[in-house]
Amino acid sequence: MQSKKPIFFILFITICAVTIGVTAGAFYALLNDLPEIRSLNTFHPSSVTRIYSSDNVLLAELFVEKRDPVPLDDIPDTLVKALISTEDRHFFEHTGIYLKGILRAFVKDILAGQFVEGASTITQQLAKTLFLTSQKTLTRKIQEAFLSFQLERRYTKKELLTFYLNQVYFGSGAYGVKSAAAIYFDKDVKVLDLQESAMLIAMLKAPSRYSPHVNMELAITRRNIVLKQMLTEGIIAPPSFDQAIKTDIHIAPKKKISTKAPYFIDYIKNNLPETIDHKLLYQGGLTIQSTLSYELQEFSDFSILKKLEDLKERMKKRGIAEPEPQAALVSMDVKTGGILAMSGGIDYQGSPYNRAVSALRQPGSAFKPFVFALAIEKGFPQNKLILDAPISYTGANENDSWTPQNFSRDYKGEITLREALALSKNIPAIRLIDMLGASSVINFAHAMGIKSRLKPNLSLALGTSEVSLLNLTSAYSIFPNKGEYIEPHGILQILDHNGRSIWRTAPRKKIVMSRSGAAVMTDMLEAVVQEGTGRLAKTIPRPVGGKTGTTDDCKDALFVGFTPSIATGVWVGLDKYETLGAKETGARAALPIWVNFMEKAALKRPYEYFDIPDDTVKIAINTETGKPEAEDSPNAVMALFKKGTEPVQ
């Protein structure tokens, strides 16, 4: 049998060292503050940051430790007394350490031949939690004693209890008593009853062992020990004890950490102001008030899943079963730039890649409005005639020729700009960019918020350069917003843990089109809905403008459109950049999602009309010739013109 003499000798030396250390520590504490203690003057426990929607729905919680600091006055007295009776009966008497307890613990250590009991007071436990490691060494115990004296000297017992109950770990990811009450009982800590309070304190001895989520039987046994201790101490009466141990325990099931609008939350985290660093975001207990409407977000997700089912059925009939089609939707407030809804795909868990923000895809004909808008800004009226007839371009090498075609494969001869855009004719758009210059169109598109690289060739008019859906949608919002660009954003305000505002949004704004030019373009995009490829959107009970987009082989399908207050873009395609199938155009694959969403979203806003500036005039014109026409003529449409450019009879 191994002799215990060496262990006895070590423990004897340890007792002497601790006694000397405690005495020296007490003297030192009277003279000096340790740096760690001084730091507690500004100490704030790590706490949860919460992101809320504009309709006050909790979207996400961000944390390293699940913690919600709470004042002692909000903690039930029975819980505080359960803590003291179980962990430190002499808490209100000692000055940081309890010498009798230390001596008793050392005797047990000697008999056991090893360190088996710590005899730590609440103050010592707090010092260890805040400043030290859990390693049981003589040096650490001496440091713990120093720090405990300092804590007791500087702070009241009430303050120490507040620190402790907000800092200590209760298991299952719960740091602090408020988080523990929510995780284990789905309750506010204020309304915990006696047995629930005892259950939480029971876990402190070993959270991984006594958590009811781990072992209910052990948790109940340990809870009853705490209740028995409270009875012995006279804190509770026998009837209360009897009732508490017989009370059924209702433990909340383990909750998965769920995030609503996950694509949007990722966007928020990637676009925080520079003043909010990673540590502050995950430990600062911030409240982030976002622009997102959770009600509209649900509409967005529902619309995508519902309408993609129809597309998948059509694809299966054509023998296209894999991969599944993807879709993205982004919706924003025209007048503020605030993002109202963002769906970056059909399933975040399956693919967190945000196709509304990060994906660069060809917009197809959805890019054409930028070409036409520049023409309007340069003084072209929307009834200007342009030739819709086959054309061929030859490069420096005669073998390098390009012969573009209309998607419809038919040609109408001379056609107005209005009808060319409404019917999404390719040849007029190409002739127009040739007249304006591709570089001019690129500069104009960049001014309107398109941030990706655009290639300076004539096919740009057909949307062959890749853009993001968010950029495209925000650029479209310029038309109903009187020519003003507003940088899209997702955060309204950030509050610190005390509820004080530390950041407010100030989105970048700039005028990029004349008000009259924006109004004329809005009128032309209304024609797309009323007379052209976007007719399905006529069901929206608001004024509506927009544009379809389809790329070669139907690899991308888009519709971007707006009411006077909401701009929304929808993209549908395959991640592998393969065809959706013949005839899966923007009007067929993307527009139904847009309509399903906007039929609900538009009604959330009051009825408004598109802007008609004083320097514009509306005149009835013939749809084919562009000449003035009697308003009651079957071939007449009402078209908006800048004054001085309108047609004369």
Model pLDDT, residue 121: 86
Per-residue pLDDT reduced to its tens digit, 517-576:
999 999 999 999 999 999 999 999 999 999 999 999 999 999 999 999 999 999 999 999
pTM score above 0.85: no
Per-residue pLDDT reduced to its tens digit, 544-555:
999 999 999 999
Token pair, residue 102, equals 């230390």
Note the CATH number of domain 5-32+65-246: 1.10.3810.10
Model pLDDT, residue 169: 87
Model pLDDT, residue 45: 65
Least confident of 123-127, 255-259, 489-493: 255-259
Per-residue pLDDT reduced to its tens digit, 194-242:
999 999 999 998 887 898 988 899 999 999 999 999 999 999 999 999 9
pLDDT band of 401, cuts 50, 70, 90:
confident
* 586-601 mean pLDDT: 97
* 6-32 mean pLDDT: 56
Active site residue 300: no
How far is it, in rounded angstroms, from Cα 500 to Cα 389? 64
Q: Determine which one of 53, 87, 343, 477 is catalytic.
A: 87
CATH superfamily of 364-393+400-465: DD-peptidase/beta-lactamase superfamily (3.40.710.10)
Rounded to the nearest angstrom, the gap between the alpha carbon of residue 270 and the centroid of all alpha carbons in its chain is 9
pLDDT higher at 262 or 43: 262
Residue 399 has pLDDT above 90, yes or no: no
Least confident of 95-99, 325-329, 400-404: 95-99
* 121-150 mean pLDDT: 72
| Of 543, 589, 536, 550, nearest in space to 567 by CA | 543
User: What are the boundaries of each domain within the chain?
Assistant: 5-32+65-246, 364-393+400-465
Active site residue 365: yes
* 330-354 mean pLDDT: 96
Contact assessment for residue 129 and residue 4, using Cβ atoms and an 8 Å cutoff = no
Residue 43 has pLDDT above 80, yes or no: no
How far is it, in rounded angstroms, from Cα 29 to Cα 22? 10
How far is it, in rounded angstroms, from Cα 187 to Cα 330? 36
Model pLDDT, residue 30: 39
**Sequential DSSP letters for 407-473:** TTS---EEEEHHHHHHTT-HHHHHHHHHHH-HHHHHHHHHHTT--S----SGGGGGT-S-B-HHHHH
pLDDT higher at 256 or 459: 459
Model pLDDT, residue 144: 73
Per-residue pLDDT reduced to its tens digit, 617-648:
999 999 899 999 999 999 999 999 999 999 98
Q: Determine which one of 53, 85, 211, 365 is catalytic.
A: 365
**Taking the C-alpha atoms of 544, 545, 550 and 555 in order, what is their torsion angle to the nearest 10 degrees?**
-50
How far is it, in rounded angstroms, from Cα 646 to Cα 649? 10
